[in-house]
Amino acid sequence: MQRLARSRRCSRKGSLIARKRRSRIPRTGYLANPASLIGIPRIEPVHVGNKIGFGSSALTVLAQTLVEIDQANESDWIAAEKNPSTLVEHVLRRFLADGGQSIIAEHFELSLTLGEAIVDSVYGEAEPTCPGQLFFVLNTESSLALGVGDAIAELEAAQAGMGQAFYDELRKALYRWIRVYDDMDARERIEQMTEWAEGEEDPESYEVPNLEQDLPPCLSDKQRSDTARPLASFPVPARPWLKELVETTIELQTVSHSIERPKVDEEWMERERHYHSLDLPLPAVLLYFRAGDAVMACFDDECEHWGQETPEPNLIIPLQPDDPASVRRALAVIETLMKVLVLTVRIKNIVESREKSKCDSVSMSEANST
């Protein structure tokens, strides 16, 4: 699975993150607020930090380009009261609404901003990369929690290898576009926690989560295969909810790979990371197996320290506002991103509907027995 290219940095030198024994059921503060909205685009009426304001000439150029590529028309111009920046905001909001923004906002808490830099600096304005260069930047406000343990188990029971194929393709498809926290991240965290605990006088007094006991059997080191079959190569499950889950995951994989992820100049990106002391992107999705498992425990542990440094965006989409091809490409990337997020919500709904039906069945059985 493709992971973040650069190594993890730990700014907590000398501290022990593995805490004294306590419950491993994490707080729910990281769960997305259903009432939250995606702030796209965050175009301020005044210039704040490095976000572009309503007087930006780049917005005027972008407005002209949106007309050229048929994303805006005369009625939009009239509705915007012949204000180029208002036209840009109007067109982008409509574009996002058509792409499923309301569905996404019910489950995710993300921020997609448009600006001249990838980090909003209120303590000094960095020079733009080049004249007229703009960026769409995706940041995470909180993580969507997606529990897949039961789905993996039932798929594996339907046919050996299908559970692993589902899990691997799901996270790979997501990781092309957003940061995902999964069992690999938990494993790295446990290694850190173990190392820190061993340096203490009483290492046994610190609890380190046990990932192996929480992994589905098909994902254990002994059973896991590095040459897993593609999910599409398995016969479609007969059970309706499994069939829908598999078909949606295959669609997610197809959409995720339908367009190349935008690339930025690596030398420039390294300078930005150094200048702004950027940390790793905050996860947009938490993939766990069961409530209170080791993945959730590690995620909860790391949550307490995120935010000490500015996180790198999940996704950076550069565009030249005067280049129709560049603007079309940027909008196509955003459209793909939103399809990925909408399909992720659909997978979450499928899994949770199954869990609810199981709980209802158990409750009914208990009621009948009494």
Give me Rg for the CA atoms of the chain: 23
Q: Which of 180, 107, 339, 252 is nearest to 244 (CA)?
A: 252
* Segment 187-216, tens digit of pLDDT: 999 999 888 877 777 666 678 899 999 999
Indicate the helix (H) or strand (E) that contains 246. Answer: helix 240-256
* Segment 340-368, tens digit of pLDDT: 999 999 999 999 998 776 665 555 555 45
**pLDDT attached to residue 113:** 87
Q: What is the mean pLDDT of residues 154-182?
A: 96
**pLDDT attached to residue 118:** 87
For the ranges 35-39, 230-234, 262-266, the one whose mean pLDDT is highest: 230-234
Q: Provide the residue type at 27 as one letter.
A: R
Rounded to an integer, what distance in angstroms lies between the CA atom of residue 366 and that of residue 360?
10
For the ranges 2-6, 100-104, 186-190, 219-223, the one whose mean pLDDT is highest: 186-190
Bridge partner list, 109: 142
- Average confidence score pLDDT of the chain: 80
Residue 280's contacts (CB-CB under 8 Å, 6 or more residues apart) are 4, 8, 9, 179, 311, 312
Residue 9, pLDDT > 60, answer no
What are φ and ψ of residue 274, in 5° steps?
A: -70, -45
Residue 81's contacts (CB-CB under 8 Å, 6 or more residues apart) are none
**pLDDT attached to residue 306:** 82
**pLDDT attached to residue 231:** 96
Q: CA of 124: how far to CAs of 47, 48, 68, 121, 195, in Å?
A: 12, 10, 35, 6, 39
**pLDDT attached to residue 85:** 85
* Segment 272-321, tens digit of pLDDT: 888 888 989 999 999 999 999 999 999 999 988 887 788 999 999 999 99
Residue 4, pLDDT > 60, answer no
